[in-house]
Structure 1
Amino acid sequence: MDLKSIANQLYALLPAEFMAARAEYVREAKAAGDKETAAKIAKLRKPSQAAWALNLLARRQPDELQRLGNLGAALRDAHGRFDGETLRELSKQRHQLIRALVAQVRRLASDEGQKLSESMVRDIESVFTAALADPAVTEILKAGNLSATNELTEQEGWPEPAEPVVDEVALRREQRAERQRQELGRARAEAQHTSEVRDRAQNALAHAEQKAARATRHLEELTAELERARTTEQEANSEVREARTVFRTAEKAAERARRHLESLQ
């Protein structure tokens, strides 16, 4: 009989189902004449409620434990390099991830009809903290065959990143450099803004110049038309005067002709 396969099946059960199932596997091993395996199966411990919930996470959401392992590796790397700034950022992620994992474990347990007490939740949080500090703990969690959490939670918790030792001279230098960077950023932003304003003004000027040129051409056309109209008016007035003179002359001639005709009659 395969002890690893049997362990996987036993630790996938609810804690209340563990003892009866283990006894059945022991009986089967003995019946098969495999006393050594039977003894090893009998030594498999019933999982605590917290350990069972962690096993459930490992089986249902293995990617979550991989995230835990990746963050732990990043924390250990930053700690080894004494990178305080990175440690402080990763510590924020650590708190967020542990909260998210605890919430996920609670949901999984609730889906199986099991409620975790506050003390169980604290144990689970401690295990996650230990896993971040020790990759071996993460590997144990990934196996999904955890029987108890107390051995894992005894691992030294991950320390909060220490505040950096302040070098006053370097701090002032960095503050000056930061102010210069900020001033340079503001100057660049102002230069960009004024450049954009200039470009918009230049475009507006070009548009206005084009509009003025069109208006000038239109005015010139209207002026020429007015001059032509004035010339036409003058010519028409001259023609009127000439026509009036011819009319009066013709009228006088007609009157003389009328009087002459009357005298002859």
Structure 2
Amino acid sequence: MEEKMAKPVFVALDVASKEELDNLLAQLGDPKETSIKIGMELFYHLGGEIVVDLAKKGYNIFLDLKMHDIPNTVYNGAKQIASLGIKYTTVHALGGSEMIYAAKTGLVAGTPIGQPVPKLLAVTELTSISDEILKNEQHCDLPMNEQVISLAKMAKKAGADGVICSPLEVKTLHEKVGDNFLYVTPGIRLQQNTDDDQSRIATPAQAKIWGSSAIVVGRPITQAEDPQAVYDMIKKEFN
């Protein structure tokens, strides 16, 4: 029961080939106790079949494709990926409420009978978007934190199950958007390697305290000498 209720720690599988994927997964342990994030690089290279195969093996899969198109196209895309056996997927909140609603509707329509509908997570503003870009290129009058809150509220109202956000934003989002929403946070680092190229980061323990629903971890696990040992340590620290 305790294992079932554990909050997911998704390993970002940012690899370019089937060989690299197999090597990494072999070092992560039991598929039924492993949550993985598949992004554009892997999906565009190996396609839906690899997702189906990994789902059948028991992996808890977050398919991170960040859908962003007209509502009808997103509906049809979501309907297709819902049949792959995934548990989570993403859209861009900037696509608007109608598109988010279409994505959720597509996921419901495409999910096989008896299977849970994948959770829909909305990406607010990418971590690469600076205050300057927000103001001068997106022509947004709101400061970054208010923009993220605004997009999260809109996504929730449109039917999303949660958002992708910085761990530093989670506490405020709980207060402003509510606790009955998922807050999935990348930018997780271990204490000893917080000096890399990402600035908006937190440790698993901090993410737990601030209220993250799930975390995404890449290089600290995938580049470790013993990926499974580090993965198990992070899962324990986060839960």
TM-score (norm 2): 0.21
Structure with higher strand content: 2
Structure with higher helix content: 1
The structure whose Rg is larger is 1
